Copies of this chain bind each other. A is one copy, B any other.
């Protein structure tokens, strides 16, 4: 029998999804599982976005343009303008979720064997897409004790080599909820300029920044052609399933190259584009309500976490995640055990072991990533379950 590819063997399993079969098994037993493991908001999608697809008048669901509908890209220009990001329709390419935006950016900008620097802990799937594209990932460490602040420039310079082609940021950050300050971004800009790098900036949580400092996009740093924005409508309108993301850049050459990949895969999802387009305008109140809701959840959830003996979470300033340390040696074993063994009144809690968000296998072993995407009662119940599970686990 022919073999599997080496890169396929090297592909990491998703730390967010790899325990899913255990959760499925628990559910089949009738156990209720609270999902803190995945950034799947429970908020409704905007009603006007759902209506757009309910009232679809097309007779044939045909291919859309490889770069996505012009009407959608026009509305996005207006949306970005509200954040001081000045782009034209030609600067935007619609992709199958932020996921495809990441992969295609990597493929267009870097060769196999090239290196990219990211902060760890970082979104695990960046590493999967880097493996897919044959890119070597070098990491600089942020620390839970510092609230996962941007590591100093020297830490980046230590891992820069002649093969380094890019720095990748997630801002606001998944999995940590960190938001980089204008001063921190200025340091990144200097590095990117000094070493002639690309800056890939994943800003899908832009709407969820809970500090009073002005939020700065990578496209507002004056980096021009070196900045590549990764974006998605998934989180801000609670429509993760439609798979609509985007690459936004002033770099013509990158855009033209990405377009060759886009033409090969023909087009982004048609129905998702209809939903996304209807989400952009007239949803100011929806976004304000979502923001308030997440901020309340954050305040409630982080306080609750830190009140559990041995648990520590810094205060995240953006997105809807936190990385917390637990009083266990092996958080992955604990997460599994919660799904296979722990039950309280027929319920349990699912978390993502944080080790999968680190490149260094020694780091984050006692940490988990938690998403506060459930309503407050459910978060409260999850906190109770976590408290009881830790007690029972450490007493075994």
Contacts and interface: CB of A to CB of B under 8 A. Distances in A.
Interface of A: 1-2, 4-9, 11-14, 16-18, 20, 38, 40-45, 49-50, 53-56, 58-66, 96-97, 99-100, 103, 107-112, 114, 125, 128-129, 132, 134, 165-166, 196-198, 225-226, 238-243, 251, 253-254, 257, 260-261, 263-272, 275
A11 B264 contact: yes
A299 to B, nearest CB: 23
Given A61-B45, A109-B5, A240-B62, A13 B272 contact: no
| Most B-side CB within 10 Å, residue of A14, A43, A265 | A265
A169 B198 CA distance: 39
Give chain A's interface secondary structure class.
Answer: loop
Contact of A60 (B12, B44, B99): B44
Nearest to A238: B60
Contacts of A103: 265
Contacts of A243: 96, 243, 266-270
A53 B257 contact: no
Nearest to A239: B61
Nearest to A43: B60
Contacts of A54: 53-56
Contact of A266 (B8, B18, B50, B97): B97
Q: Which of A2, A13, A14, A275 has the most CB of B within 10 A?
A: A2
28 contacts: A1-B226, A4-B253, A4-B254, A7-B107, A8-B261, A11-B257, A12-B260, A13-B260, A14-B66, A17-B263, A40-B62, A42-B60, A44-B60, A60-B238, A61-B242, A96-B100, A97-B266, A99-B265, A99-B266, A112-B112, A128-B260, A128-B264, A132-B264, A134-B134, A241-B267, A241-B270, A269-B272, A271-B275
Contacts of A110: 5
A59 to B, nearest CB: 4
A129 B97 CA distance: 19
